[in-house]
Structure 1
Amino acid sequence: MMVYAMDLECSFSMTRVESCCAAPATKACREKMRRIRLNDRFAELCSILDPKKPPAKADKVAILSDANHLLNQLRLEAQKLKESNEALQVSLKNLKAEKVELRDEKVRLKAEKERMEKILRSISIAPHSLHPVASVQAAAFTACTKALPYPTYNTPMGMWQWIHPAALDTSQDPVLRPPVA
């Protein structure tokens, strides 16, 4: 069975085309077959360009013009997508660099935190040679009737660093706290 184009309006009758196509030896038969294939391709192109539109006899120039217009639109869209892809690639590269930078900063801050914790632990652990023995402290308070509130409390460092700066200012002491006679 032969596929015929939708716009088969030619001088050949169907019987003549079928008889001609049985033995495509003549030039006229070959030309007719070529035109039928070409018309089928145009019909296929027309259905691809506008699938909602029912297939009908259309002007070949209009079909080619529509195809050209669609190809130009697709080229522009492809170019825009390429540019967008390149911009996204640059953005991705910047984000990766920022991620590496943040990871390095995190490692640095973690090391700094560990160093600070180590310093804090070394400060909070008091060396025994710097503090008087509890028995010496108890002997000093034997004459006093008051009990030693915290006999085992050893301060490894001075407490002045936690005092509010306004309380440390001694320039206004004679005015604010007059001497008691």
Structure 2
Amino acid sequence: MRIQVAQQPEADDLLGRDPLALLIGMLLDQQVPMEWAFTGPHTIAVRLGRDPIAGLDAHEIAAYDPESFAALLAEKPAVHRYPASMAGRVQRLAAYVADHYGGKAEAIWADVADGRELLGRLLALPGFGRQKAQIFLALLGKRLGVRPPGWREAAGPYGEEGVHRSVADVVDAESLAKVRESKREAKRAVRK
């Protein structure tokens, strides 16, 4: 299945080809619009001088000088609203993937026995709390066909079919608008 979260063909192509890019996009998806967050991995690849077709390298990102990496994310247009803090988070995530999975993000979900194990692996990632881990698990299941037994249950409400709750439910501009409206409704309900 095709990823269409960034709503920019080159960025979405990278997300669909490179599991590390998708993981970094999910990490960046906070306090900025989804498209901005998920365009970030493509922007990082270009600024690192990498061919986006080749994807990102966890070892390279983890080893990059932290101040230089923060400056790279802060270049206009910035990769995130908080480029310095997110640069550190991206590097910690890349280091974790390099150290625990040999630099291969797809190894996180390659050999899991069930959805609970996959959720546990995602929860162990730096910068991934329960909600982010469940949303990413749902994204893997709904968009990439990563469906170990019990994946929907482990993804919680984000794993449900026919909903528009998160990035896992975005397939085009129309579904992105529905997800945005669903998030607005959820915020209104909390305020009441």
TM bucket, shorter chain: under 0.3
Larger-gyration structure (1/2): 1
The TM-score normalised by the length of structure 2 is 0.23
The TM-score normalised by the length of structure 1 is 0.23
Structure with bigger RCO (C-alpha 8 Å, 6+ apart): 2
